[in-house]
């Protein structure tokens, strides 16, 4: 990892002869989101937050931070890079207190810079407030201008600070009213955790785009329980915290000396949780939106096998995100599953940070074929998504070069035709291969023998089947039907419009 970070872009590009448009591939990536974490009432709150962030590292690798409160003050520490690179024992010792919140970031609004790292701490007339946010606010221009006219001085260029500035400028008398009032004024996606010197708040936007769960660690020897909030429940397991429930869409939860209280700041809109969390972002060992991700992905694979099965000798996942769907596909089809592509786990994503002009020859470095499993075989490759198609193209070539007789590509979600404005950094419409090409054209481009995607009905079925109360999902990246009114017109113009 250290060696990679020390490579300059010049050294990387000089050393490798790039094929096709490999040089641009880091822009093809589906960028992750952010992970948030909060602990109430634990003598080692910062350390528990650190462990939680470790489990949420897949949601953002650009920067991380922890703020802790000891009843008197809020201390915070933030840095660029992975949580393991930022937080050591001496660093954690500088974060005393029983309350803490933490964040791991992949930027969606504002540069990837220390300035925009979270938690963001603001001193206001209501006291010190720190916030950590997963999601992306839309239609910010007017709110920011209005706040600036009212005398707000922004410390960052991220969307998240709007929320704390709205709280700081709210005319309500109690802090909880100020928070509820402010959350009612912003549009878009937010799963947030906030803290003051002695309270923790957790809230989700009314559509419930991003996940946020609440758990509890039972107190020992008659001590009070510890409350935990995390983007994904995989963060609870390491802390021996028990999942209690989700923070509901439009809900604001407060934990204080008086216990847990809750109120709704908006119950007017329909739930539209991000279906792509189930497809790609969240870990399969997490329960999000009240449902195990593993269960959804397995069913995506099974449904894909039923919808577009093809005779083959082996099912090969594109690791890591394609693995669970491939297991489902293999069980349903009866075709053996095997790891025909091996992932090098030491290729970290710090290597492809957006503002570094580091050119990505990452696919060949990250994935390598297992010739012994592929030679002479009819192979079905399972991946979760195709964005520009350049990665799939390289993988298909790689598998064929390793001796595969046929290569069939199956994708465990529908074609991605529209960008996301709610916290997932997909490219604009003109760069999404499926927005500008037919499935047959994409098949030709990636050089597969056949290509099929899971249907929209199939993905929704996979994320709801067996649930007593199925949640409503946002599927806008497959349909273009956005749950909020605001979209960036430039971003949704088709490729032909820019020609
Ligand atoms: O259109 P493409 O350029 O082919 O992009 C899509 C690929 O990128 C993502 O994986 P990623 O490499 O981010 O890694 P992961 O699956 O290990 O999370 C996604 O899961 C696809 O594999
Ligand atoms: N990906 C995210 O959830 C990012 C949160 C916030 N919009 C930021 O850019 O910092
Ligand atoms: S547009 Fe796609 S990625 Fe964005 S919130 Fe909706 S389903 Fe998720
Ligand atoms: Mg992948």
* Structural domains of the chain, with CATH: 35-269 (3.60.20.10), 277-498 (3.40.50.2020)
Interatomic CA distance for residues 285 and 56, integer angstroms: 12
Is 422's C-beta closer than 6 angstroms to any atom of ligand 3?
yes
Instruction: Tell me which ligand sits closest to the C-alpha of residue 159.
Output: 2
Q: Is 178 annotated as a binding residue?
A: no
CA of 33 relative to ligand 2 center, distance in Å: 6
Ligand 4 center–CA 322 separation, angstroms: 6
Ligand 2 atom closest to Cα of 59? 1
337 DSSP assignment: B
Best substitution site from 119, 190, 354, 423 to test ligand 2's pocket, by max atoms within 8 Å of Cβ?
423
Is 4 a residue whose pLDDT tops 60? no
Cβ(184) to ligand 2 under 6 A? no
Q: What are phi and psi of 242, to 5 degrees?
A: -100, 130
Q: Does the annotation flag 274 for ligand binding? A: yes
pLDDT in tens, 186-220: 999 999 999 999 999 999 999 999 999 999 999 98
Instruction: Please choose, from the candidates 408, 497, 403, 404, the residue with its C-alpha nearest in 3D space to the C-alpha of residue 448.
Output: 408
Mutate to test the pocket of ligand 1, among 57, 323, 391 (most ligand atoms within 8 A of CB): 391
CB-neighbour burial class of residue 355 (10 A; exposed 0-12, middle 13-18, buried 19+): exposed
User: Does the Cβ of 133 fall within 6 Å of ligand 2?
Assistant: yes
Whole-number percent of the chain with pLDDT over 90: 71
ipTM for this model = 0.96
Q: What is the C-alpha to C-alpha distance for residues 153 and 140, in angstroms, rounded to an integer? A: 15
- Whether 235 and 52 have beta carbons less than 8 Å apart is answered as yes
pLDDT in tens, 254-302: 999 999 999 999 998 999 999 999 999 999 999 999 999 999 999 999 9
For residue 428, give every residue at least 6 positions away whose Cβ sits within 8 Å of its Cβ, in sequence order, or none: 419, 490, 491, 492, 493
User: For the segment 400-430, what is each residue's pLDDT rounded down to a tens digit?
Assistant: 999 999 999 999 999 999 999 898 888 889 8
Q: Which atom of ligand 2 is nearest to the CA of 107?
A: 9
Give Cβ neighbours of residue 247 (< 8 Å, ≥ 6 apart). Answer: 191, 202, 203, 204, 212, 213, 214, 229, 253
Which positions are annotated as active-site residues? 34
380 Cα–ligand 1 center, Å: 17
**Residue with the two structure tokens 């992970």:** 35
Looking from the CA of residue 159, the nearest atom of ligand 2 is: 7
Q: Is the pLDDT at 386 greater than 80, yes or no?
A: yes
Which stretch of 26-30, 186-190, 212-216, 330-334 has the lowest confidence by average pLDDT?
A: 26-30
- What pLDDT is stored for residue 361 in this prediction? 63
For residue 284, how far is its CA from the centre of ligand 3 (angstroms)? 18
474 among annotated binding-site residues: yes
Average pLDDT, the chain: 88
Compute, in angstroms, the gap from residue 64 CA to the centroid of ligand 2. 12
Q: Would you say 321 is a known binding-site residue?
A: yes
| Amino acid 67: pLDDT | 98
What would the pLDDT profile of 438-476 be if each residue is shown by its tens digit? 999 999 999 999 999 999 999 999 999 999 999 999 999
CB distance 475 to ligand 3 below 6 Å: yes
Q: Is 463 annotated as a binding residue?
A: no
- Indicate if the pLDDT at residue 305 is higher than 90: yes
Comparison of pLDDT for 12 and 84, the residue scoring more: 84
């Amino acid at each position: 990892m250290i060696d990679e970070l020390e490579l300059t872009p010049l050294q990387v590009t000089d050393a490798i002869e790039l094929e096709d448009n490999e040089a641009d591939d880091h822009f093809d990536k589906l960028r992750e989101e952010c992970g948030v974490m909060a602990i109430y009432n634990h003598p080692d709150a910062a350390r528990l937050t650190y462990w939680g962030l470790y489990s949420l590292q897949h949601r953002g690798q650009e920067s991380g931070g922890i703020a802790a409160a000891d009843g008197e003050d809020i201390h915070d520490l933030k840095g660029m890079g992975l949580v393991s690179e930022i937080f050591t024992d001496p660093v954690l010792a500088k974060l005393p207190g029983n309350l803490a919140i933490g964040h791991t970031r992949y930027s969606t609004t504002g540069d990837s810079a220390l300035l925009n790292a979270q938690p963001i701490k603001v001193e206001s007339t209501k006291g010190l407030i720190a916030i950590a946010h997963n999601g992306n606010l839309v239609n910010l221009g007017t709110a920011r201008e209005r706040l600036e006219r009212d005398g707000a001085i922004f410390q960052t260029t991220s969307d998240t600070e709007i929320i704390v500035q709205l709280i700081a400028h709210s005319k309500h008398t109690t802090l909880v009213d100020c928070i509820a009032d402010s959350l009612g004024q912003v549009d878009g996606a937010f799963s947030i955790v906030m803290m003051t010197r002695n309270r923790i708040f957790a809230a989700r936007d009314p559509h419930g785009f991003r996940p946020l769960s609440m758990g509890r660690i039972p107190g020992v020897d008659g001590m009070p329980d510890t409350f935990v909030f995390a983007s994904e429940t995989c963060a609870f397991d390491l802390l021996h915290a028990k999942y209690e429930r989700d923070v509901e869409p439009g809900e604001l939860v407060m934990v204080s000396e008086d216990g847990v209280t809750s109120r709704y700041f908006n119950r007017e809109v329909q739930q539209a949780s991000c279906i792509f969390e189930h497809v790609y972002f969240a870990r399969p060992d997490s329960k999000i939106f009240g449902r195990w991700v593993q269960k959804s992905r397995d069913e995506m694979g099974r449904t894909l096998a039923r919808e577009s099965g093809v005779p083959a000798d082996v099912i090969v996942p594109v690791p890591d995100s394609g693995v669970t769907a491939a297991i489902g596909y293999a069980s349903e089809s009866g075709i053996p599953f095997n790891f025909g592509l091996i992932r090098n786990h030491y290729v970290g994503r710090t290597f492809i940070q957006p503002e570094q002009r580091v050119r990505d020859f990452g696919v060949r470095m990250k994935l390598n074929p297992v010739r012994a499993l592929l030679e002479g075989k009819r192979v079905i490759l399972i991946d979760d998504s195709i964005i520009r198609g350049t990665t799939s193209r390289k993988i298909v070539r790689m598998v064929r070069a390793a001796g595969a007789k046929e290569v069939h590509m199956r994708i465990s979600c529908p074609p991605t035709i529209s960008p996301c404005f709610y916290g997932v950094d997909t490219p604009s419409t003109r760069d999404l291969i499926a927005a500008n090409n037919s499935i047959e054209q994409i098949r030709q481009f990636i050089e597969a023998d056949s290509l099929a995607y899971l249907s929209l009905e199939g993905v929704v079925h996979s994320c709801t089947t067996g649930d007593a109360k199925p949640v409503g999902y946002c599927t806008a990246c497959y349909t273009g039907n956005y749950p909020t009114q605001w979209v960036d017109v430039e971003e949704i113009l088709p490729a032909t419009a820019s020609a």
